[in-house]
Chains A and B, each alone.
Chain A
């Protein structure tokens, strides 16, 4: 599984990355966390508002700092 954090490196982007790492640590899932900071790449994924989070190339959320619990729910297939 590949988790992507889309954002240019602002505090909110860093917060969602930390939440994603914490969420991942609380599961038995094997996944990598990758930061996508290039605006062209972010726009090519259709994201108009950061921070955004994608799992295996599918954007699950945009424009919101997801909590650890929300990310756990996503990773477990809740959304």
Chain B
């Protein structure tokens, strides 16, 4: 949902998930959706930033933080933000005990990973 900054100076954190084809992308997507439901930030489209669509890029520039959730060490999300020179915080699902192409992504794993990510974000 678009955030009207009127009357509020609380910076909005935007969240982007890799959503790639592998199990790790699936986890990144689902964990990010869960974090959005928890109110950690607002989820928006990584692909649109990658495509340099102006509204998404300007929103990323104006955000109070950009949280990028990549599935694996290929780190497409990270590279998108680096290419655009926009500051970001980076999280990779394989840092959370998930093996690309192997680990089954269960609802329990999504919940556990989301919780771990929320803690990590709170620490940063």
A contact set with B: CB distance below 8 Å: 7-8, 10-13, 39, 42-43, 45-52, 54, 58-64
Contacts and interface: CB of A to CB of B under 8 A. Distances in A.
Contacts, number: 88
Q: Size class of B's contact patch?
A: 20 to 34
B3 to A, nearest CB: 5
Q: Mostly helix, strand, loop or mixed at chain A's interface?
A: mixed
Given A48-B63, A49-B62, 8 more contacts: A46-B45, A46-B54, A47-B55, A48-B55, A59-B57, A62-B58, A62-B59, A62-B62
A49 B54 contact: no
Q: Mostly helix, strand, loop or mixed at chain B's interface?
A: mixed
Interface of B: 1-7, 12, 14, 42, 44-45, 48, 53-59, 61-63
Contact of B62 (A12, A45, A64): A64
